Amino acid sequence: MPRAAVEECGPSPDAASGDLSGYRWVALSNTTMGMLLATVNASIVLISLPAIFRGIGLNPLDPGNISYLLWMIVGFILVSAVLVVSLGRLGDMYGRVRVYNLGFVVFALSSVALALVPFGSDAGALWLIGWRVVQGVGGAMLFANSTAILIDAFPDSQRGMALGVNQVAGIAGSFLGLVIGGLLAEWHWRSVFWVSVPIAVIGAVWSYRSLRESRPVARDGAGARATLDWPGNLTFAVGLSVLLAAMVYGINPYGGQPTGWTNPWVLAGLIGGVLLLGLFVLVESRTARRGAQPMFHVELFRSPTFALGNLASLMASIGRGGLQFILIIWLQGSWLPLRGYEYESAPLWAAIYLLPLTVGFLAAGPLAGTLSYRYGERRFAVGGLLLVAGTMAGLMVIPVDFPYWLFALLLVLNGIGSGLFTAPNASAVMGAVPLAQRGAASGMRATFLNSGQALSIGIFFSLMIVGLASTLPDALRTGLTGQGVPVVVADQVAALPPVGSLFAAFLGYNPMRELLAPSGVLETLPATAVQTLTGKTFFPQLIVGPFQHGLVVVFGAALVLTLVGVVASALQTRPRRR
């Protein structure tokens, strides 16, 4: 295949050019800010959803509002996953810094629109979802090009350290967003969106004034600026969107089943998404054979380092995303109420108690990035994921009502393992890519990371629901009738899909109050029974057994995915330095 011609856009700040102005550190600090902005906002609404929905006067747990709830959770993540490859390719064509800078602008404008939502009820929910999607576009611009900008700016000897700081800050941002969202939601729900505005504005001004194009822009074989590959972009975007949306909607109950994996629309989405992604591969292969510039050079996957590195990244991302959701439910639905925390304040405290995970990331990531250049990326990637797998096994066997020191130790070790893996993996993958294709390759890598987040919602919520469905109904029926709830009402509640209990715990609602409110039985029972049923210990003690069973299923699956990542990392070859 003929190589694209190139045109220099400006001086390279690479070590080889002798540039000692410190540009690379400006690039690192700015792109780290961009990654933090994007990843914090990917999770900041998770903790804030109850306050946001109260602000617009909508109950997210009403059956008719579940779709609003799902799209508020996944809309940002989904659009970020879908667009990063296209926006990375646009960075190759028009300048990575140019597209990256625009991401800050889009982020700032969409954050203002979110904070100023003028409607309530259904219209307000649609407004928020729409602008979260736009905000996701800005996030995708930052995701797609930050890694490529760093690769261009740093020499091989410092690349691992730079990627370590950038990537670990990005991953840590997803956990910091939980704390920030919890704190701001206690003050005012609109502040959850306002907080991004000054950061995005500062980032935009700083990046426009300080960052510069340092690598060639892509040209076609005739020397003209490469054009956008519309067939490739459309088949990829539609295929991935349909696939990820179907995965998320698989957690909705259907036809008397606790999950929706037998729903014809979900099945059609899964099959159709896979077929469209297969068509994307064919379209891109034919485009490349004609000598034109495809959206993404699929032949990059012939490189074992690139292909296996991205596979390992996807497995780690799915496991990490699932870990985040399940730990939040574990803390909010069981552990914190048993220690006297109110359900309404549990989301904030759950984020605080999860901070050891972030500490582990921050401690290991930059160090691993620096040392991996000397000792080899593969060792750190394999060792990091093995440590993560060990912590998954540990979380399977500790009691539901665990001592916190043991839980915190497992979180720290998990964070250290993920930090050891992330930067060396990113350095190996991007080091295996030709200079002119790093924007699109960075976007593809970000696609695997962000898709893992979306896939984890469908996979791990479904696994937990299946795990609970076999034992929770009997536990609910026995516990409710023991407190004087009529058998007919207890049977109705026990027959409800477990997803209601999970979402209630995830959002900081009192699960028993939400489950019993539609029947009106709380108004007929003695005050002592009502106090017991809606108290802090009844629901956690009721679900200890079923929840333990669900945790074994979930962490067992996460362990398997992580071990697949270990094998993929072990099979990589050391990339040729570029």
Tell which wins on pLDDT, 522 or 12: 522
Report which of 405, 416, 417 is spatially closest to residue 363, judged by C-alpha positions.
416
Dig out the tokens for 370 from the structure.
């620096």
Scan for tokens 């490469």, then name that residue: 226
- Please tell me the predicted confidence (pLDDT) of residue 5: 36
Domain termination site, one of 261, 277, 294: 294
Domain termination site, one of 278, 294, 310: 294
pLDDT, average across residues 41-58: 84
Report which of 38, 28, 39 is spatially closest to residue 358, judged by C-alpha positions.
39
Q: Say if 504 falls within a structural domain.
A: yes
Separation of alpha carbons 241 and 83, rounded Å: 10
Report the domain count for the chain. Answer: 2
| Contact yes or no for 160/377 (Cβ under 8 A) | yes
The average confidence (pLDDT) of the chain is: 82
- Please tell me the predicted confidence (pLDDT) of residue 475: 85
What phi-psi label fits residue 117: left (phi over 0), alpha (psi between -120 and 50 degrees) or beta? Answer: beta
Q: Say if 380 falls within a structural domain.
A: no
- Please tell me the predicted confidence (pLDDT) of residue 259: 81
Dig out the tokens for 315 from the structure.
């497995």
SS3 257: strand
Separation of alpha carbons 298 and 282, rounded Å: 9
Report which of 228, 183, 495, 237 is spatially closest to residue 347, judged by C-alpha positions.
183
pTM across the whole model = 0.81
| DSSP assignment string, 204-216 | HHHHHHH----SP
Q: Say if 491 falls within a structural domain.
A: yes
pLDDT in tens, 123-158: 999 999 999 999 999 998 998 888 778 877 887 777
pLDDT at 3 over 60: no
pLDDT in tens, 383-420: 999 999 999 999 999 988 899 999 999 999 998 998 88
- Please tell me the predicted confidence (pLDDT) of residue 577: 46
Separation of alpha carbons 426 and 436, rounded Å: 17
pLDDT in tens, 220-251: 554 455 666 788 888 888 988 898 888 888 88
Helix/strand number for the chain, H first, E second = 23, 2
Domain termination site, one of 243, 265, 294: 294
Q: Cβ neighbours of residue 198 under 8 Å, at least 6 residues apart?
A: none
SS3 3: coil
Q: Say if 351 falls within a structural domain.
A: no
Separation of alpha carbons 522 and 525, rounded Å: 6
pLDDT, average across residues 245-259: 82
pLDDT, average across residues 315-333: 85
Separation of alpha carbons 530 and 390, rounded Å: 42
pLDDT, average across residues 287-293: 72
Q: Say if 437 falls within a structural domain.
A: no
DSSP bridge partners of 217 = 7
Question: Counting beta carbons within 10 angstroms of the beta carbon of residue 571, is it exposed (0 to 12), middle (13 to 18) or buried (19 or more)?
Answer: middle
| Contact yes or no for 35/170 (Cβ under 8 A) | yes
Dig out the tokens for 518 from the structure.
């539609």
Q: Say if 239 falls within a structural domain.
A: yes
User: Which residues form the domain of 514?
Assistant: 469-551
